[in-house]
Chain A
Amino acid sequence: MTTAPERIVVVGASLAGLTAAQHLRARGYAGALTLVGDEPHRPYDRPPLSKQVLRGLFSADTTLPHPPDLGVEFRLGQPATRLDLSERAVELGDGSRLPYDRLLIATGTRARPWPDPEEAALAGVFTLRGRDDAQRLGARLQARPDRVVLVGGGFIGFEVASTCRDLDIPVTLLVRDAVPLAAALGPRLGGLIGDVAREKGVDLRLESEIERMEARDGHLVAVTLKDGTRIESDCLVAAIGTLRNVEWLAGSGLEADAGGLRCDAFCRALHEDGGVAEGVFAAGDVARWPNPHDDDALVAVEHWGNARAQGETAAANMLAGDASAMRRHDHLPDFWSQQFGLTIKLVGLAEGADSFAVMHGSLEERCLLAAYGRDGRTIAAASIDSARWLPAYKAAIRERAPFPPIADAVDQPRLRVQEP
């Protein structure tokens, strides 16, 4: 692994892949650089798709900027179909082979399709992951459906619900759990977002699932819930999570499954036997890596910030030569969501928290910063319209400060440690 690479292939032409390409060049890599993408588009940004793009604000072209002299050969509209580790080559859908001496796997995820294929194929049933999805759904929303049914209690579901309300389209949001967003934010903040959604006119139905869809001439006309309720709608968006794009790695010898492509702290992909796959790295949503902020528990983080950070770390390590010169991926997970005029930001991972405290502001004002703890340590912090305090809490999380982390502070209520 001490020879400098001359041919680098990046599979996955999205945020992680493009970021890696930029950092490879910024670090002086001058060899061949190929970016493979299964979509026909240049790398584009996804967060605006569920918000301003659907709403029709500004341009729908969210192509990511990059320096004009990036020197990348794009192989777009071509999925990678096979990885041959022994020959050090990637096979594409058109049968061509791309030899590499460093490979970055950044194939990300796709929307989990609606489980019933016949229902999934109905006109009026949508998923939302890529640019083309957003264009189709956006066009449908511009035509003003009578009611949109959203399935899924995650951030995408809430963001699309918010967009529908901005467009004054009636919307029903079906959430399987008793509290929305509880996995990411805990029940208290999840419940708060649910309240806000209701106030903004969202027909939010908790513990609700679809029993079946009704169609006429191949078009969705109504859904029936498991409790028997029938809702007429000709537009349904299934925002029920994602699947990792690892199928093409089957038989390669890499350890990859529904949980992601296993890699080590330096973003190096691992064999099924646990050994390092020489020259093969992973970044972004598809990578499953040991999180140093959580005692090296394996995690795949499907967030924008991680894609950028891991793309950068992987690029540095691809050029590092040997492990002694590599740096570990120690990104502290972070993300944001914009909905109903609020900005929600999270730093760290709140899942598994056993305690919660409002550190600034209040739930009532819907302007607050809350911290999450586990076993007496601070593990996450969430802000609603209070992002400027977050950096201080980010530092506390990195340092695993005792929980609650910051006392005697400005605009701080009497601290009450509660269940999350």
Chain B
Amino acid sequence: MKVVVDLNRCQAYAQCLYAAPGHFALHGKEALVYDPSPDEAARGEIERAVHACPVRAITAYSDDTTAGEAA
């Protein structure tokens, strides 16, 4: 999967840490670091994180396997 977090919007509510602790972490009080490319097996946890975020700052989609790297 591919994940991106809008860190302007993020206010460190930390709900994603509970939903997907292997893929989101706080370093310090507010500095969210996250896995931008989690394994497809983590889909359930990542989706939980997406929905639990009070400010909906997390976007995640499955990898696009339909297109190659270069045209």
Contact = CB atoms under 8 A, between A and B. Distances in A.
Q: In the complex, A touching B, CB below 8 Å?
A: yes
B8 A334 contact: yes
Interface stretch (A57-65, A217-225, A350-358): A57-65
B16 to A, nearest CB: 13
Nearest to A48: B36
Contacts of B64: 42, 66, 68, 70
Interface in A36-95: 40-42, 45, 47-48, 51-52, 57-59, 61-68, 70, 72-78
Contacts of A63: 2, 36-37, 63
Given A64-B2, A65-B59, A76-B71, A58 B28 contact: no
B35 A74 contact: no
A142 interface: no
Contacts of B2: 61, 63-66
Given A51-B33, A61-B36, A66-B64, A78 B71 contact: yes
Interface stretch (A181-189, A287-295, A336-344): A336-344
Given A58-B37, A68-B61, A385-B29, A336 B69 contact: no
Contact of A385 (B23, B28, B59, B62): B28
A216 interface: no
Contacts of B63: 63
Contact of A341 (B28, B36, B61): B28
B67 interface: yes
Give the contact-size bracket for chain A: 35 or more
Interface string B48-59: 000000000001
Contact of B62 (A62, A68, A74): A68
Contacts of B1: 65
A42 B4 CA distance: 14
Nearest to A36: B71
A6 to B, nearest CB: 20
A47 B71 contact: no
B42 to A, nearest CB: 12
A65 B29 contact: no
A367 B29 contact: yes
Contact of A388 (B6, B11, B38): B11
Contact of B11 (A73, A334, A387): A387
Interface in B1-19: 1-4, 6-8, 10-12
B49 to A, nearest CB: 13
B70 interface: yes
Contacts of B11: 387-388
A41 B33 contact: no
A45 B36 contact: yes
A308 interface: yes
B31 A65 contact: no
A201 to B, nearest CB: 16
Interface of B: 1-4, 6-8, 10-12, 23, 27-31, 33-38, 59-64, 66-67, 69-71
Return the 4 tightest CB-CB contacts between A and B, nearest first: A341-B28, A65-B2, A343-B30, A59-B37
